[in-house]
Chain A
Amino acid sequence: MTLTDINKHRTYRITSISGPDELRQRLTALGMLRGQKVRLRASTLWGDPRTYAVGRQQICLRNDDAQCVAVECCDD
């Protein structure tokens, strides 16, 4: 399951981040790391890009990039 599959009402945890180096670099700098909790915050009309809550911030990602972040369900 990746970020593109998550829905609004549950909390998830990042299990891994793959993809091109540049993408991983940028996501990492924003605090997206393995073990970090994440939620879906908003979606545009077309469902792409979407906004995710990570830590104390909201980050917008296109689906192509969000696909590189694998998550698992973890409800608190």
Chain B
Amino acid sequence: MTEQTFTVALLGNPNCGKTSLFNLLTGARQRTGNMAGVTVTGREGVREHQGVTLRFVDLPGIYSLSHNRVEERVARDYLFETPPDLVLNVVDAGNLARNLALTTQLLEQQLPTVIAVNMLDEAEAQGIAPDCDELSALLDLPVLPSDGRKPRFLELLLDTLVARLQTDAQASVLAIGYEKHVEGAITRLTGTGLERWQAVQALESGGDVPFVLFDQQQALLQSEISQLESYHDDSAAQLIAEGRYGFIHGLMHNSGSDHDELSFAEHWLDSVVLNRWLGLPVFVFLLWFMFETTFTLGAYPADWIDAAVSGLGQWVADGLPDGLLRDVLVDGLIAGVGGVLVFLPNVVLLFTFIAIMEQSGYMARAAFLTDRLMSRVGLHGKAFVPLVMGFGCNVPAIMATRTIEEPRARLITILINPFMSCSARLPVYVLLAGIFFADRAGTVMFAIYMLGILVAFSVAAILSRTIPTQHDESFIMELPPWRVPSLRSLGLHVWDKAGDFVAKIGGVILVGSLLIWLLQTFPLGAEQSLLEQLGHLLAPLFAPLGFGWQETVALLSGFIAKEVIAATLAVVYQAGEQDLAGLQAALLAGLAPAAGLALMVFTLLYMPCLATIAVIRRETGSWRWALLSIVLGLVLAWGGAFITYRLGSLWL
């Protein structure tokens, strides 16, 4: 059998489960790729089936190919310039009509298509499951049931894909009969040499198309569009959409599918979550709950890890003779790496909560509830997701701002992103909050995160006054139905994040710990180590904040990566102590509670880590903004920590 490779593009509405299906199809073999010359990245993955290599490309979730926004353009350009061998159109069974609108566009363009009907179980539960076989017969192409969360249907889907690809079957041409004036326009446009689908797409998108339009065609197009507008109250796009939906309703009627005009079922969760008065308080409560649980629940496994680490340290210390080897392993490596590893459960828990909120559909509701607040400070509705991603890691979060088209709005979102406290800072918070605020630790952490959000919004408000945005894209969002997150994908997600964290530990934190140990150990026998000398040199800058040379040095090390702060504190305070309790006691003795709080505030606000700075420079295109975020961070951090220390000293 010859080795054949085919490209299959996944296309569908947002929220139709396309991503889960993509993950199932490609398994672990995927990577992010760059669409030819476009700024929004897509994902690719490979799988072998029946001796054939299938290359899957995940296109952005879109509602229509004729829109003029970043995501739609990416898909549209891709399909036109590098058409795949097959389009796998993923469709949400619970919202068939609207999903099929995109399908009609694909069929008009005569792209070979296979439809995968997703979320069938939900539709069945509501009694509106479509008849796939009927649809298949009517559309003359394979329509398969699928469930992105369970691998049940995978075999059949793959078999069908391969069969279709190898026989090179063509779907029958779809020609929707539009309203007569529209048809007239289409006829005149095809008369100039355009294909029917090109004429339709041009009319729908107002001429913004990936294929070439000669001047005369452009002129004709524009005059047709304005003529249609003058005949009817609706635009060409609306008329065409009406035609599509008319066709779709007929299709659904003939296939026995439900097509009620308004059959939306209320969910009891929404009566609480979207309640006019309860909505926001519930949101704030959930956030608090998230941090409280992250702290308290995470403490148990953290203790086990701590015990294991200090056990290891003890074993090594006992087993090795005096000398540098023992020192570097126990006081350097194990202390530093162990000091951060201990917080793995907390980090994992946080990511899990965020993933649950996202997959259940709550995140969208949160965006809805906070939209007003965001627009008051000049933030775009689309900024919600990148900002929440910042709670994980600022690097992908800043890259996610690419979906914001307006450059000023995007810039502001990028600049405030570092104030959304990333997960690397969590170890520092858990450590300090646990020491100084034992019972109220979770609440204190919650307060720190809220402070970060507050600062982010305030900075956004100020920035949006000094660099005004040009035009505000409307906030139009679909609320996804409530879904129980699949344990499988949650598990995968959590496993991923845990893996990233551990990888980081094996990388930058390991090296950071070694470096700190090195500077701390030499010169041998001297009064003060290099590290201490460095700390004392800079300590005066931080003395008003209640910090000693140890904190100074720890914050310096955070420049590389924020987790290293916790590692440095562990190494610097430990000499001799092996476990978390020892570290906690040392810190308690060395820092005032107010200073501990101030340290948390400083960590929250001061400049982004190296990787983030690099990404800011890359995404904004100049060092100017990266520099600004550094300066901004330092100034706000120093000021905030100062206030915290002074005020805190009065009360704590």
- Taking CB atoms, residues of chain A closer than 8 Å to B372 are 44-46, 48-49
Q: How many residues of A contact B (CB 8 A)?
A: 42
Known: A22-B68, A31-B101, A45-B277. A56 touches B478 (CB 8 A): no
Known: A44-B279, A53-B264. A59 touches B478 (CB 8 A): yes
Name A residues whose Cβ lies closer than 8 Å to a Cβ of B. Answer: 11, 16-18, 21-31, 33-34, 36-39, 41-46, 48-49, 51, 53-62, 64-65
Listed by A's residue number, 24 A-B pairs whose Cβ atoms lie within 8 Å are A21-B237, A24-B237, A26-B476, A27-B476, A28-B241, A29-B67, A29-B101, A31-B97, A39-B264, A42-B275, A42-B368, A44-B368, A44-B372, A45-B372, A46-B372, A53-B262, A54-B262, A54-B264, A55-B95, A56-B264, A57-B264, A60-B475, A60-B479, A64-B474
Interface: B133 (CB within 8 A): no
Known: A37-B261, A51-B274, A51-B368. A30 touches B476 (CB 8 A): yes
**Closest Cβ–Cβ distance, residue A22 to chain B (whole Å):** 7
**Closest Cβ–Cβ distance, residue B162 to chain A (whole Å):** 32
**Closest Cβ–Cβ distance, residue B32 to chain A (whole Å):** 27
1/0 contact string of B260-294 vs chain A (CB within 8 Å) = 01111010001000111101100000000000000
Name B residues whose Cβ lies closer than 8 Å to a Cβ of A. Answer: 63-64, 66-68, 94-98, 101, 204-206, 233-235, 237-238, 241-242, 245, 261-264, 266, 270, 274-277, 279-280, 368-369, 371-372, 375, 474-479
Select B206's contact among A21, A28, A30, A39, beta carbons within 8 Å.
Answer: A21
Report yes or no: B479 in contact with A59, Cβ–Cβ below 8 A.
yes
Most buried by A among B94, B262, B270, B375: B262
- Taking CB atoms, residues of chain A closer than 8 Å to B64 are 25, 28-29
**Closest Cβ–Cβ distance, residue B108 to chain A (whole Å):** 15
Report yes or no: A36 in contact with B67, Cβ–Cβ below 8 A.
no
Interface of A, helix, strand, loop or mixed by DSSP = mixed
Expressed in whole angstroms, the Cα–Cα distance for A33 and B242 within the complex equals 7
Report yes or no: B280 in contact with A33, Cβ–Cβ below 8 A.
no
Report yes or no: A34 in contact with B242, Cβ–Cβ below 8 A.
yes
Q: In this complex, what residue of A is CB-closest to B364?
A: A60
- Taking CB atoms, residues of chain B closer than 8 Å to A51 are 274, 368, 479
Known: A39-B262, A45-B277. A33 touches B371 (CB 8 A): no
Q: In this complex, what residue of A is CB-closest to B96?
A: A56
Expressed in whole angstroms, the Cα–Cα distance for A45 and B245 within the complex equals 35
- Taking CB atoms, residues of chain A closer than 8 Å to B368 are 42, 44, 49, 51, 60
Known: A38-B262, A44-B368. A56 touches B238 (CB 8 A): no
Expressed in whole angstroms, the Cα–Cα distance for A33 and B247 within the complex equals 14
Q: In this complex, what residue of B is CB-closest to A11?
A: B262
Known: A25-B66, A25-B68, A34-B242. A65 touches B474 (CB 8 A): yes
**Closest Cβ–Cβ distance, residue B269 to chain A (whole Å):** 12
- Taking CB atoms, residues of chain A closer than 8 Å to B233 are 16, 18
